[in-house]
Amino acid sequence: MTDHFFEGAEKLLEIWFDTSETKLTTRNDLRHIPRDAIEEVLNLVNCKVLRFAQSKEVDTYVLSESSAFIWKTHLVLKTCGATTLLAAVQPILELAREYAGLDMVDQIFYSRRKFLRSDLQKGPHSNFENEVAYLDSLFEGGCAYVLGRVNRDCWYLYTLDKPCERKKLDQTLEVIMTDLDPEIMKIFYQDNTTSATEATKKIGIDKIFPNAKIYDYLFEPCGYSMNGLMPDGYYFTIHITPEPEFSYVSFETNAPYSLYNDLIRKVVEMFNPGKFTTTMFGVSAANSLDLQRKYFHYTDYTRTDYQIVCLTDYDLIYGYYKKTLR
């Protein structure tokens, strides 16, 4: 028995910017921030850039601990392990102001699953209360929510209570899986698979969005990350911690909601987790409640939690599923 442990659960930060000028111009683009300035921020968080790519709409980074995506006026930063993601917030706000004239925050989402080992986290990340206190010191009107069972698995969210000015109404799906099938997880060890591309194909990640460009990475001795770019600024990203003692896989996308039912089913069948959480943002709860009764039932899984939070512009839907004992 070793003490080896890795916290797969990511901290996830999404910030939407705006300008106090009357309208957005080409100057207002987060992608004007120099690459070395971004890498400096990532250093603060304790991440390195492993791969970089771009499409017309988005710059994407595969990181030593998860991923970053940068669009014109918003960004997604997702970091796992013992990274200190919140240390990036203030520097990012400054870079956005300096290089992109984006001097206002339109909306922010900070979220994460309950850590397996919060005692190994650093700074405010050791508990949600401290994270909230830190964010409250930077933003006005922040709202902190806990979804799921606080004495078991749960998921935390911090967001601003305000209507968005610039932010397009979009949607995000995250599927967070634990207790994964150890046979499947073997794919993500360099002893069994020689390259990231091979891992991507073996498990079938290349078939989730056949039109995506995939930027993947296989870690030494094990672990896997990928960012996928589709047309129109759509993305998906998968991160895999395969060790059986603390296996963890996350799937995230901003693909359209109409695909979610098939997507969740595909992803869950691919990884065969013992438990999984789904979070969906940006969906009308009334519609989705109706939809979930029809669709969001997965063979072999029992839904033990289902919650809806109606936010100012968004609805958030949280589901928690466990493999049914036979």
Residues of this chain that interact with a second copy (CB under 8 A) are: 128-129, 132-133, 136, 142-146, 148-152, 161, 285-286, 289-290, 293, 304-310
Q: How far apart are CA 114 and CA 11, in angstroms?
A: 10
Q: Is 50 helix (H, G, I), strand (E, B) or coil?
A: strand
Name the residue with tokens 């709202």: 143
Residue 67 annotated as catalytic: no
Closest CA to 69 of 49, 91, 84, 46: 49
Q: Is 101 helix (H, G, I), strand (E, B) or coil?
A: coil
* Residues with Cβ within 8 Å of residue 85, at least 6 apart in sequence: 11, 13, 45, 77, 79, 125
C-alpha R_g of the chain: 19
Instruction: Phi first, then psi: give them for residue 145, nearest 5 degrees.
Output: -125, 150
What would the DSSP string read from start to end of 133-194? HHHHHH-SSEEEEEEE-TTSSEEEEEEE-S--SS-----EEEEEEES--HHHHGGGBTTT-S
Nearer to a second copy, 46 or 127 (CB): 127
Residue 170 Cβ vs a second copy, minimum distance, rounded to whole Å: 21
The catalytic residue among 47, 80, 111, 247 is: 80
Residue 80 annotated as catalytic: yes
Residues 205, 199, 174, 212: what is their CA dihedral angle, to the nearest 10 degrees? -40
Residue 276 Cβ vs a second copy, minimum distance, rounded to whole Å: 17
Nearer to a second copy, 31 or 162 (CB): 162
Nearer to a second copy, 25 or 302 (CB): 302
How far, rounded to the nearest angstrom, does the alpha carbon of residue 20 sit from its chain's CA centroid? 28
Residue 258 annotated as catalytic: no
The catalytic residue among 67, 225, 247, 288 is: 225
Residue 317 Cβ vs a second copy, minimum distance, rounded to whole Å: 9
* Residue type at 28 in one-letter notation: N
Binding annotation for substrate: 6, 65, 219, 243
Nearer to a second copy, 53 or 285 (CB): 285
Residue 50 Cβ vs a second copy, minimum distance, rounded to whole Å: 35
Residue 66 annotated as catalytic: yes
Residue 27 Cβ vs a second copy, minimum distance, rounded to whole Å: 35
The catalytic residue among 47, 66, 247, 250 is: 66
Catalytically active residues are: 66, 80, 225, 239
